[in-house]
A and B are shown apart, each in its own frame.
Chain A
């Protein structure tokens, strides 16, 4: 009877995962979808604790289990609640890593269950030919979980700023070789059941962790969300391996669902940047040396500076002003002042809208979240295609801390690392005012031709201060 109820629990949970995920892709239903999936997860967990049975034996160690859950719940909730909006992708990466580690640990314990001492002090792992599938799944879970864990931790570090980009010549070849070694050892372990099985198992663990590190190391911070999405689907597959192991349908469902959905999401994210996945993973800004040199050789040219007072005049006497927010706005935490500027201009009869590039900031939707925090009305946010159509009839474009997303090199310079990425064509507007702290390059590390164009003026300073000054000046006009 109890096993039947547990089966029901798992079915309900699986269904909630599917429904929840579906709802998460719809803006109006997303929040509910999240809660639905959470509810299903809870049912599955509680059901497992109290109803799970193996050979008539229920689960024990309730103290340990509840203790672990309590600790995990507290740590997870605190971490999730206290993190800053802009640090969320890091948190997602961290949680992903936890999941991967969990899967790897399960594999380690299950592998050890297969061992029994043959030579005193040296366990030998023995398994019948029919259990080869079992061992294969354990090893797969180990590798995928470990790669995901290590990779996610590096991704977390990169978004944190704690880990710098690191790559060496021939790294991609090194990575491939490392992967081949892992695969070869796994095949050997699973197919030949050697006496040193345990040793080989732990070597595979170490190499997989190493691979995870080297897989993510060379990829630039701006590409991290794509990498995290990919690692997300990896952990899903690792969870599914666990499902295979225990013939547990809910782990299987949840795992494969996330594995497949996550992979597709990764591809969609790449499409939004107009780069292929291979380019993100292997291209990175790999020609770093070459392209930086090429950019340096380009004519620096002259740029025009503009003062706050002149900008204020330009803005208030315009008919239409579009604001392009970027990472700089987020760093300066100037979104509220930006909203003040918008309101101030509108009270002067200026039409103000925001042009949002899909990858402005450090994650898709970053700018939307930032502006939402400042109560900017949703209708004022334009998507890239819409904005591009309206730039020619825009008097002033105010670029706030955005750089690569408005760099014309993406259209004109095949040698540029951002070549091919769709950008906001702000150069089509009548005037462009760019606010940055200095002329230092943005995430792509390259010069931005926009700054040297005739219609562009640079308004230097911290976004928050500059915007505050602008609001002050416009008030007096």
Chain B
């Protein structure tokens, strides 16, 4: 019912979404916590940069990433020096692109739930001997757990639907960078409507289930 190529594209998609979400959480938790706590005057600059992918055409983001991934560019050359492989048209490159592309979808729900935590609770934890990192792990994350679920699911689901950025930096290498959205595009181009239907229905179902999970946790999804 589903071809080996399409199966591999789906697998790449899920792998990409999982790896990106893991990195996104590692990056976004400290970032959102810092945004919640900082008194820095120019924090709005950081917030605007994070929110940029919400409004930017994915092709623009993809174009700049492609330039940076160029083996003669700074990011591309340091990556090659470190790992011996190329960033452009690689799975690692896709992960970096996805992290940037889905960042606002993870940072914003986290920041929302961090900001709603009562100051007294955190100060109580301090008086009981918890330093800043300890407070984050032992108090903030458990209280913000629904926000954490929302952030992970949104990050995952948004990466599933990624198309523009992948098209620019990923190319079309089966088993490596060919994701489901690209496969659907190709099927339509070559008039293979049956395959396009199957893959589209699968993506639709997965996204719907994931979004239902978000709303079921009863959280405000995004602050726009």
A and B interact physically: no
Residues of A within 8 A of B (CB): none
